[in-house]
Every structure is written in structure tokens, then in C-alpha cells.
Amino acid sequence: MKRRIYYNLIVSTGLALSLVGCSKKLDLFPYDRIELSQSFKNMNDAKAYDNNLYGGLRGLQYGLYTISQDVQADQLNASLDYGNRNGNLHRWGSSFLADDYTIRDTWRGYYFTLKNVNAAIEGYPNVTAANAADQALLNRYKGNAHAIRAFIYHELMLRFSKAYNPATASTDLGVPLVLRYNPADQPARATAKQVYDQILSDLTQAATLLAGVNGAQGANRFTIHAVKALEARVKLWMQDWPGARTAAESVISSGTYPLYTTSAGLLSYWRDDATQETILQSFVSRPLELANTNAIYLGLVPANGKFVPDFIPSQWVVDSYDNADTRKNVYFERKLCVFQGADVPNVWLVNKYQGNPLLFTGATTNYQQAPKIFRVAELYLIAAEAAARMGSANESAALTHLNNLRTARGLTALSGISGTTLLNEIKAERFRELAFEGHRLWDLKRWNEGFTRRGEQNANIIQVGANFNTLNIAANDPKFTWAIPTNDMTTNPNLAGQQNPGW
């Protein structure tokens, strides 16, 4: 990605002005903005929009879009020095309100990017390809836009709609479905089924347009494999077990993304952005093409080399990794920390996002990584869970997928398990593999499971009490589903009466 371009777009039907003494009518365009038909003239315009969309997609990874739900879940404890950063989510209850900046900014970020995606989808047909090569590129740009739109709507539904239930999806509220850029539009919420029908439609179009774009390790544009990875993730959420399994297995069976089998390999993956398991990641380059960061887990103080993290992993989380597990000493590392001015040695910290040294802009880490959007390990887990839920005839396939991941990570293969025991092992492996990647809260939501925070490392270095280390959340707690932001509820009359319960 050579550049990141933002457009201030408007859609016009063409304004005519009758001038005194002149019968000629002139089409007028704003002097300070690019009208849609004028911004899609040639292949260079199409390429610029494609770059813009990928810059927008990168802005929706990591940071606010990943750590928020993990802080809200059961894996972490707020340190004594967390400064109430992300505190409302972490405490749940009456402090987590519909006007919270996390809710507001996440919603705004997704819909802002959708504005540009919709403008691109509407504008690309205005570009005429001069030859077959240009047409192939234009098809790829179109496929990218449809894939990104499907991705964004799925992310919105994870947060702002209840867990998908095929039996009630036609009446459950989803999110506003906006498919054309119109700044005056004030849409009501669509149903969950309507939103997912659109997601599936976009995925179908993306798969058609990108059919000839082969998957490659570390791709930073959508490929057919990335489309299938998104399809697998979406269909798992929709409880379409055969569809999720088929999509996941189509990528796994390609053999393009072999699993790492050593700690050194995993370390190169998470620290150095090695790409062996990556299906899609965002392009990042210093100093101008940088991403959001997940910096809350370390908090390095360069002056003394000590760490002051906002959140630290609970001891039970660290202990869920066997000592033979190659992930344990990659995902976590013991550090010398300082809390309230006192040194505390050997504290386990999340070390998954320590920063790629090649992206440092100073002497120490800036926590920059290439955000991993889809990686093959998730597909092994999707294939395993989907097969396990398809019934006893598919449990052997589920166990095979599970064991392929387990043995790659240094664990022994499991045997002789089925039913609930098998499904629980898949859930436990999903927890370990995808820890701190933004999946945990949504997994608990779709599994209809509550939690109790427990087993902290050291009660003397964390915030304690019923809203912190012993917080108990029931499976039906309404705040598993985030509120529609207060500002939108106030300014959009068509959202009246459509707030999520419990807010």
C-alpha cells in the first residue's frame, strides 16, 4: 500500500441553475468536495479508493477494536495502576453506559469506513477498463469492497446484536443496514436475518470476483482464501455448521498455511510478523503507515526497563497452558513490574503484542505489529467445532482438526472422547489459541455461558472487589450485547424504541 487517501464524499443527483439572460443549465458541484461521479474517472481513481478502503480496514484492527471485549471478559485483572482506562467495560454494571466512548467510537469507526466502502461499490461501475488486465484489477477492487463490507457488518453484529439464533433471526434486531452513501439517511435497525443475508450476499460477490486471486502467506489484500476464512467465521456465528466447516476446510486443505510447531516459530510470528500462518494481515510500514496497538498489556518504562501494565492475565489463564505448550512462553513472559512505586518481580504479562523491532520509531518498542485479521489456526478450531456440532458421525473429523492444532503446539493428541467432552476440549483449545485476540467475549456470548473472574496472580497488585477480580456475570447478562450509542438514539428518530435491553 503506497498511500492512504481519504475522500469527503457526497452523492448528488445533479443541480441545475437557471441563469437570468441565459437558457443554458449548468451542473454545479461543490467547490470543496469531490462529487461521486467526478471521483471515479479512471483506473487510478479506482486504485486510490482501494488503497483508501484498506487503510480504513487497518484502522479497524487492534486497539479499541480488540482490547475492549477482552478487558470486559474473564481473562484479565486491572492492575493497581490501570488509571481507570477501559474501566467501565471491565466493571460491567451501572458504570458501563450507552454513552461510553468505547461504544461510541467503535460504532462510529465502523460506519465511517462503511461510508467509503459503499461509495466505492457505487462508484466502481463508472470506471471503464481499457483492457483485460485493467478489468481483472477492477474486479479485484470490487471484490475487496464487498469483502470489507461483509467483515464490517459481521463485526457490528458481534457487538450490537444478540447472539445469532436461526429460529428468531427474522425478528431479532440487528444494526442499521446502510448500502449507499447518503449523509441525510436515518435508518432504523434491520433484522438480524436481513443483515446476515446482506453479509452472505457480499461474500458471494467477493468470492466470485476474487476467485482467481490465490491465497498467499501474509497477504495484505483479500484473496479467495481470506474470503473463505471470513465465510467460516460468519457461518460459525450463524450456527451453519456444515457451511462453516466446508469453508474452513477449503483453506486448511490447500496446505498454504502450515502451522508452526516450535516456540521459535511462534515467537517469530508474534514478534517479527513472520507470515507462515497468516491468511490476511494489514499492511504496516514506519513511519506513516502504522496501525492501532494493543499496548495495555506491557507498559514498558524505557527509563528503567520496568513494566506498568494496565491489565495482567489471571493466574488460571497462564496455568491453562501446559508447560509443554509452545504458546506458553510466547504468549506470556515474566517481567519486573512496578505498582504504586514498588517493584514486583516475576509477574506474568501478556507478551503477544510486544512490537515488531522493524517497526520501532525510537529506541524502544512502540508496540507496532501487522494486525493479523485471519490466521489458519482459527480455521482448525472452526472446522473442529462445526464438525463436533454436526453429530456423532462427524466427531472423528472434529477430533482430527483439534489434534492437528494441539500436536503442532506441542501437546499430546486426544483420543476416545466424544459429545460434550469433545466440544469442551475444542472450547478450551480455542480459548488458549486465540487468547487476547478479541474473541473471548463473543465466544461466551454465542455459547450462552457466563463467567466468574477468579484466580488472580497476586491480589496485592490488582484492583479487588465484586466489580473486579470476583465479578460474576450470568449468561443472560444484557451487557454481552452493547448498546446503540446514546448520540444515535438521540439524533435518529427512526431508532426510537430500538435500544438493546438492559441499557
- Note the pLDDT tens digit of each residue in 110-130: 999 999 999 999 999 999 999
The arithmetic mean of pLDDT across residues 189-207, rounded, is: 98
Rounded to a whole number, what is the distance in angstroms from the first to the last CA of the chain?
A: 41
pLDDT at position 33 is 46
Beta carbons of 374 and 249 less than 8 angstroms apart: no
Mean pLDDT of 391-415: 98
Mean pLDDT of 70-78: 98
Residue pLDDT, tens place only, 285-312: 999 999 999 999 999 999 999 999 999 9
The DSSP code sequence of 15-80 is: EEEEETTEEEEEEE--SSSEEHHHH-SSHHHHHHHHHHHHHHHHTTSSTHHHHHHHHHTTSEEEBT
pLDDT in tens, 361-388: 999 999 999 999 999 999 999 999 999 9
Q: How far apart are CA 53 and CA 113, in angstroms?
A: 7
Q: Tell me, what amino acid is at 486?
A: T
pLDDT at residue 27, as a whole number: 45
Q: Please give the pLDDT value at position 181.
A: 81
Q: Are 296 and 90 in contact (CB under 8 A)?
A: no
pLDDT category at 12 given cuts 50, 70, 90 is: very low
CA distance 359 to 103: 30
Q: Look at residue 20 in the predicted model and tell me its pLDDT.
A: 32
Cβ atoms of residues 351 and 307 within 8 Å: no
Joined together, the cell numbers standing for residue 247 give 469453508
**H or E element: which one contains 1?**
none
Domain boundaries defined on the chain = 42-284+372-495
Instruction: Please give the average per-residue pLDDT across 329-339, as a whole number.
Output: 98
Give the pLDDT confidence score for residue 17 in this predicted structure.
Answer: 27
pLDDT at position 37 is 63
Residue percentage of the chain with pLDDT more than 70:
92
- One-letter amino acid at 155 equals E
Helix then strand count (H, E) for the chain reads: 17, 16
Asked if residue 476 has pLDDT above 70, the reply is yes
DSSP strands (E only) in 127-245: 173-176, 189-191
pLDDT at 34: 53
Return d(Cα 95, Cα 34) in angstroms, integer: 42
Closest CA to 127 of 8, 3, 203, 38: 38
Q: Please, which pLDDT band fits residue 453 given cuts at 50, 70 and 90?
A: very high
Would you state the pLDDT for residue 22?
40
- pLDDT given at position 36: 61
Residue 13: predicted pLDDT = 31
In this structure, whether the domain defined by 42-284+372-495 belongs to CATH 3.30.750.24 is answered with no
Asked if the model's pLDDT at residue 278 lies above 80, the reply is yes
**Does an H or E element contain 279, and which?**
strand 278-281
CB atoms within 10 A of CB 55: 19
Round to whole Å and give the CA distance between 476 and 465: 22
Who contacts 204 (Cβ-Cβ below 8 Å, separation ≥6)?
none
Cβ density class 75-96: b for 16+ within 10 Å, e for less? bbbbbbbbeeebbbbbbbeeeb
| Closest-CA residue to 382 (of 402, 408, 411) | 402
